[in-house]
Amino acid sequence: MDNSSPTTHEPTAISYRLKREAEGFIGQWQVWWQSKRFRRATYAVGAFVLFLMLFWVLFARNLPDAEALIEYESPLPTVVRDVNGEPFHSYARERRVQLEYADFPKLLVRAYLAAEDKTFFSHGGIDYPGIVSAIFDNIFSSKRSRGASTITQQVAKNLLLTNEYSYTRKVKEAILAKRIESALTKPQILSLYLNEIALGRQAFGVEAAAQAYFAKSVDQLQLHEMAFLAILPKAPERYGRAKNAQLAIARRNWVLGEMRKNEWITDAQLVAARAQPLGLVAQRGTGYKNIGGYFAEEVRRQLIERFGETDADGPYSVYSGGLWVRSSMNADYQILATQALRDGLLRYNAGKAWKANMGTIDVSDDKWASRFAATNIAIDYAQWRAGVALGKGKVGFADGSIAQLDGAPSAMKAGDVIAVAPNGTNSFAVRSVPEVGGGMVVQNPMNGRVLAIQGGFDNRISSFNRATQAQRQPGSTIKPFVYATALDNGMTPTSIIVDGPYCVWQGASLGQKCFRNFTGNGAGPQTMRWGLEQSRNLMTVRAAAESGMDNVTDTFRDFGIGDYPDYLSYALGAGDTTVLKMVNAYSMLVNHGRELKPTLIDFAQNRKGKVIFPAKWQPCKGCRAKDWDGKPMPRFAAAGKQVMDPITAYQVVHMLEGVIERGTAVTLRELDRPLFGKTGTTTGPTNVWFIGGSPHLVAGLYLGFDQPRNMGGYAQGSSLAAPIFKQFARSAMAGMPKTPFIAPAGTRLVRIDRKSGKRVYGAWPGRDPMSAVIWEAFKAETEPKRSIRQEELAAREDKPKETSEMQSNSATRSSTSASTSVGTKRDQEFIQQEGGIY
């Protein structure tokens, strides 16, 4: 028996964990989680979800909605048409013409498919085989990397993304391409592509490109021309240049070969098309006739003010909205006004020294042609051309050509932009563009529509519109409105006004102001008519003072001439105004004192043909019917408020007819038709004016330097401005009926002695403008009354005293009756002869 002590054992530590089985989904999940396969699958799904979230954040989060393409409208230029509906100008920074899918020739569509995306109609927006092929080529080829964008992806890039070249953009393209394919049909996608693709020469879309490269519409293109257009999306600036013609032909022939592989053309078509040259035309302008540049610029200004300039300003913007604008411009009148004003400016400028007034450019290197072309300076007068002096007797043009320059003035320097005219074979002579400026406006006085605007010699030399923007003193052309105020304040055309010295005290600060006539002499007491016909300053100032200068300036405001202080000098045209305002004021006189608003835009339509301006525009149904349908004729209510008594307005027009017949504009008498008008010459003289016209047409103009200075003592409205109107009116009014100005109801026409203003009996106006007896217009009860002369009283005293009162009264009644009968008979004969008195 072992007596040793037994071994001592330490107690073992034991832990217990109580586990409660979960119930439901959590419990089941716990069971699944015990499986390594399940855990791995869960991690994979989580990683994939995380990847999708990151992908969305990086690529898809801010992408535009492809659904917007369903309502997408291409930015289109605004086209302006004249009064006959003929387009004459467009506002465009890019050439664009939008077509429907059915308008594109099938061969043209197939040419683009052959060049860009052969499988377009079979893929869903992404060409996966093409992507793999492109990746393989890019890895194993040293050439420039090849893309694999489908047409749908190009639409996404062009319309919804930027031109940034990166893999990020390519991923976004793919996402959008899938969205686009789900939102649009294949023809809709192709229409967007063919209307929007950039093809060089500022052309966007195949129709604009066809016009730019071949001067044809798409339905007139031949097969080889279609194939050429199809190669442009890759490198339009490269293939569109003449120096790269062989490169373009090779690429074009490749497209033709691809079309043959797809059996879209025959072998015969392939051979014939490959044998053709490119046939590109030189870069051209807009294709519109160069008329109405100043008119179009004023229309543009008004449209921008109303609708904005770019698509950021709204859907009807000038450069993106695709508006069709019907203007009031009459092309015939515009051409005549342009020619008349230019000829007048050249007549004034004749014999004056040549001056460099068209600008200068740097000609020290071989880039002078591009610099000159960038100025857009051009001239279309006669055979003139704009060029740049290169020195050493040479002149250069915007196309880079150089010609001989004969007789260059000593003041000319290299770099001066000049005007030249042909002077033989490849030789040009210098011409002088007038330094003096001027503006002219033609208007319809019945409705205020502006028919022509010329704001200078050429808008491509100076865009400043002197007809609408130049603030000039109107001089004596404002006098009719002074006399109109006098007529409304108790005077008549036969009122006697003293043509003599007139001074007024204007206060301590201004002192005494004395007025004088243009000639410096006074003619004593004269009729108002004579004062207006002869443009007498002193009589005008007296009439203004007697009528109240505040009333005169109210008339100026009512007629839209200007808002002037109540100083007498403004009665002589000291305030600034524009040609357009003055012409409109004269038109209101012809319109019997009814307000007119000068308008250049008849209506504007959006790209879908809906009239969006004026807001309440309505078509006149039946106005253009060939035959009368028996229904009442259309009647238009008079527009505008009455700002002057109609008879007053007619009285002024009637007196202004005398300005043509025997006044300061007598040079117009030979036009031999009813005309009214007024000349104007401002102090200096710095401006010369004429405004006038017929019942159907009112025109006005001024001449003067942009920085006012003396034009020379011989310069007057009668000698410089009136002949310009005469040249215009001779052609513009040639086919118009010789209609007299119609007097409003209530006007009384009375025979008057022209010199004294007294009423005349027993004598009649003759055809001679200088006839002593004329017809004068009066308001009721304002015409001169018959007076008993001294010789008549003496004759009565010689009669027998014993005649009874009854016999005397009977004889008086008999005499009066006989006189009245004779007078009435002669009046009726005159009325029949003249066709009535209005």
State the catalytic residues: 116, 476
For strand 203-204 and strand 95-96, is the pairing parallel, antiparallel, or unpaired?
parallel
How many Å apart are CA 761 and CA 752, to the nearest integer? Answer: 9
How many Å apart are CA 100 and CA 195, to the nearest integer? Answer: 9
How many Å apart are CA 754 and CA 771, to the nearest integer? Answer: 8
Phi, psi of 438 (to 5 degrees): 175, 165
Contact 475, 573 (CB under 8 A): yes
For strand 748-753 and strand 698-704, is the pairing parallel, antiparallel, or unpaired?
unpaired
Look at residue 680 and give its three-state secondary structure. Answer: strand
How many Å apart are CA 570 and CA 588, to the nearest integer? Answer: 20
For strand 402-406 and strand 394-396, is the pairing parallel, antiparallel, or unpaired?
antiparallel
Tokens, residue 235: 């490198």
Q: DSSP character for 398? A: T
Residue 595, sorted as left (phi over 0), alpha (psi -120 to 50) or beta, turns out to be beta
Look at residue 81 and give its three-state secondary structure. Answer: strand
Give the residue carrying structure tokens 């209506």.
603
Tokens, residue 366: 């071989």
Q: Which of 519, 548, 547, 543 is nearest to 532 (CA)?
A: 543
How many Å apart are CA 63 and CA 640, to the nearest integer? Answer: 53
Q: Which parts of 444-567 are beta strand (E)?
A: 450-454, 496-499, 502-505, 512-515, 524-527
Q: For residue 289, give every residue at least 6 positions away whose Cβ sits within 8 Å of its Cβ, in sequence order, or none.
A: 88, 331
The torsion angle over the Cα atoms of residues 529, 535, 539 and 542, rounded to 10 degrees, is 110
Q: Give the angle 741-745-747 at the CA atoms, nearest 5°.
A: 75
Q: Which of 151, 171, 157, 182 is nearest to 70 (CA)?
A: 182
Give the residue carrying structure tokens 């002197």.
466
Q: Which of 488, 605, 608 is nearest to 555 (CA)?
A: 488
Tokens, residue 21: 């089985």
The torsion angle over the Cα atoms of residues 818, 823, 829 and 834, rounded to 10 degrees, is -170
Phi, psi of 418 (to 5 degrees): -130, 165
The number of residues making up the chain comes to 838
- Taking CA atoms, 647 is separated from 170, 263, 553, in Å, by 77, 82, 20
Instruction: Count other C-beta atoms under 10 Å from residue 361's C-beta.
Output: 21
How many Å apart are CA 446 and CA 452, to the nearest integer? Answer: 15
b/e per residue 239-250 (b: at least 16 CB within 10 A): bbeeebeeebbe
Contact 219, 226 (CB under 8 A): no
